[in-house]
Amino acid sequence: MDRRSFLISSAALVAMPRVGQATAEPQVLRAMGFEQQILPTEFAGATRVLGFNGSTPGPELRIRQGQQLDIRLQNDLDMGAAVHWHGIRLDNRMDGVPGMTQPLVVPGETFDYSFTPPDAGTYWYHSHYLSQEQVARGLMGALVIEEETPPDVDHDITAILSDWKFDPEGQLIDDFDNLHDRAHAGRMGNFARAFLPDVTLKQGMRIRLRLINAAIDRIFPVILKGLSGQVVALDGMPLARPREMGMPVLAPAQRVDVIADVTGPVSLEMDHRAGAYPLGALAVVGAITPRTAGISPLPANRIPPAAKTAAQHLTLTMQGGAMGRGHGGEGIWAFNDMSGMQE
């Protein structure tokens, strides 16, 4: 190929839509420490956190169902790291569990993840090394797999819910293995909020709201104000029949997808014994004519049926905790008189 034709073809390549991303450079997720304003500034200044590419949550990863995701984890922490793709059906060696499915990524090293998510839906990614500490410090982000034919909405909005345990200076309290918390309901933060994009809605718009609970231990009952709609998916999986929106309740790591029409100022609040606790809000300015069509179910994912012959009936009895009776395990909690990986 002479120089001229090379230039023409490389220019043509730039303009061409890319197919087959086998040679595409992976997107880099740089695990790192930095300062970020989490609390309202009237309470305290920036908090020392962990995150990806200078932000917690890390960048929202968004691809179309059937597309390949290529991610290079670059560990710029002073401790080990690995990334787990929560809820994604994938090859075990891409699952991000150090010591089990991959080696720990030590400081300064990288690990390449590559997989093609088979299911559309709302997922997330997070550290799977010392997760109780690293996720609470901020190593997490949204992973959205779009349907081949996305539903008819004006905005597709992700809301990541989390909580933090702050000291009076606005820094994270370093008690991630606190025995009291472990024996009770978990390590609860003393401040909670939703990370929301900076979008301005109009009354009458239809939105998709993807709620993700990234808190390590807190259960969020979410009051959605200014929205009227339905729950269309739970933990990434579409519901064959959408349900009334009501007050979605998310345990740690759970996701709820809502499709709803904007009926007034939009806010997210946590239902709490001390009263409704504000998590975040979306600006609503002006109005459009609302859709008359109802909310349709999302297209079903192609989940292979479970092999019935392999099914076993097992009983798991959860035991322990500060309020529990004794058990035969060595730890605070146990299943069937066994704690952790104890044999």
- CB 260 within 8 Å of CB 212: no
Shortest distance (Å) from residue 126 CB to Cu ion: 6
Shortest distance (Å) from residue 253 CB to Cu ion: 5
Tokens of 302: 């192609």
Nearer to Cu ion, 50 or 253 (CB): 253
Nearer to Cu ion, 83 or 284 (CB): 83
The site for Cu ion (CB under 5 A) is made up of 86, 253
Shortest distance (Å) from residue 135 CB to Cu ion: 8
Nearer to Cu ion, 83 or 295 (CB): 83
**Coil, strand, or helix at residue 155?**
strand
* Residue linked to tokens 């949550």: 57
* Element (DSSP H or E) covering residue 33: strand 27-36
Nearer to Cu ion, 187 or 206 (CB): 187
Nearer to Cu ion, 119 or 261 (CB): 119
Shortest distance (Å) from residue 144 CB to Cu ion: 16
Tokens of 95: 């699952």
Nearer to Cu ion, 82 or 120 (CB): 82
Residue of minimal CB distance from Cu ion? Answer: 86
Tokens of 30: 């740089």
Cα–Cα–Cα angle for 225, 231, 236, nearest 5°? 120
Instruction: Compute CA distances 240 → 58, 157, 262, 288, whole Å.
Output: 31, 22, 24, 29
The length of the chain in residues reads 343
**Coil, strand, or helix at residue 115?**
strand
Shortest distance (Å) from residue 17 CB to Cu ion: 34
Shortest distance (Å) from residue 82 CB to Cu ion: 12
Q: What span, in angstroms and rounded, lies between the C-alpha atoms of 163 and 145? A: 25
